[in-house]
Structure 1
Amino acid sequence: MRVMGIDPGLTRCGVGVVEGRPGAPGTMVAVDVVRTDPEAPLADRLLALDNGLRALLEAHRPEAVAVERVFSQHNVASVIGTAQASGIALLAGARLGLPTETYTPSEVKNAVCGNGTADKRQVTSMVTRILRLKEAPKPADAADALAIAICHLWRGGVKARIAEAAARSQAAPTPRGNLR
């Protein structure tokens, strides 16, 4: 399975594409950062982000998109920009009919480091080891995007199977009569 992980940001949006299967290390296909001009009007920045993500989606053809879920910080302006970028990322995947999933930072850290409170240095180190890279991906946004893709690769399949099983059980006919 090929997964595009996106670390949303309005100024720097990390993008990482990983190919593999659950339980296996995986292979890095691509890593990039979509940048927007902080001085440009908001609408132009969102359009630039959308265009950049669309181009990367078309170039790498992932089968799924995973986006880091926005969480509350002390800087409300930063959260709003990240939330807007997250919406663009989710829309970019949905526009192509790709399954999309969001993961909290602690879910991603736990998946790649085994510790939901790991710091950025630990995440980058583990991404480098898991993907067997010669050097750490830079900047941190790129390493985070790869971590998000790895998280989905390892956990997304399980989530999908659970959802499919739940849907099948809802669709299954209910037995009639007395069940003694």
Structure 2
Amino acid sequence: MRVLGVDPGLTRCGIGVVDGGPGLPPRAVEVMVVRTPADAPLAERLLQIAVRVEAMMDRHQPDTVAIERVFSQHNVRTVMGTAQASGVVALAAARRGIPVAWHTPSEVKAAVSGHGNADKAQVTAMITRLLKLPEAPKPADAADALALALCHLWRSPMQSRLAAAAAAAPAVSVPRGRMSR
């Protein structure tokens, strides 16, 4: 399976591609950070992100795109920029028929470091080790993009099995007052 992970942001948008599968060690394919100038018009910044992420999608043909879920921050402008960048990426994936998965920051941190409150340095160190990279990806947005891809690579088989089991399970109806305790 090939996953394109995206750590969305207007100033720095991390994009990383990871390959792997059952019994196969994960392998980093490519990682980059799209930087846009803060003083450029919003539409131009979003276009720059779209062009670069679309090129990565076309070049690497991912099976899934994993995007960090926007979470509430104190700075509304930052949240808006992150959400807008996420939307551009999700649209590019949808146009190509590529499924999009959303993962929270704590979910990603827990997947790669074993702790949902890991800091950026811990995530970067674990990504460097897990993907056997010769050096740590820089800036942190690059490591975060690889972490998103790796998180999805590891979590998606279990999520798929759980969804299949839920769909296959017959609906169980328990009459009121008859639940065992």
TM over 0.5: yes
- Structure 1 position 163, deviation (Å): 2.1
Name the residue aligned to 1:176: none
- Structure 1 position 164, deviation (Å): 3.0
TM-score, structure 2 normalization: 0.89
Name the residue aligned to 1:58: 58
TM-score, structure 1 normalization: 0.90
CA distance in 2, matches of 1:78, 1:22: 37
Name the residue aligned to 2:133: 133
- Structure 1 position 154, deviation (Å): 0.2
For residues 24-39 of structure 1, the aligned pairs below 5 Å read 24-39=24-39
- Structure 1 position 24, deviation (Å): 4.8
CA distance in 2, matches of 1:39, 1:77: 14
Name the residue aligned to 1:178: none
1:46-105 CA distances to partner (integer Å, 9 max, x unpaired)? Answer: 122111110111011111110000111111111110111111111121111111100000
- Where 1:66 maps in the other structure, the secondary structure is strand
* 8 A Cα contact 1:70 1:104, kept in partner: yes
CA RMSD of aligned residues (A): 1.7
For residues 13-28 of structure 1, the aligned pairs below 5 Å read 13-22=13-22, 24-28=24-28
- Where 1:74 maps in the other structure, the secondary structure is coil
Give unpaired runs (5+ residues) of structure 1. 173-180
Q: Calculate percent identity across the aligned residue pairs.
A: 62
- Structure 1 position 108, deviation (Å): 0.2
Name the residue aligned to 1:44: 44
Q: Which moved more, 1:52-61 or 1:156-165?
A: 156-165
Q: Which moved more, 1:17-26 or 1:131-140?
A: 17-26
- Structure 1 position 15, deviation (Å): 0.5
* 8 A Cα contact 1:18 1:27, kept in partner: yes
CA distance in 2, matches of 1:84, 1:22: 34
- Where 1:20 maps in the other structure, the secondary structure is strand
Q: How many residues get paired? A: 172
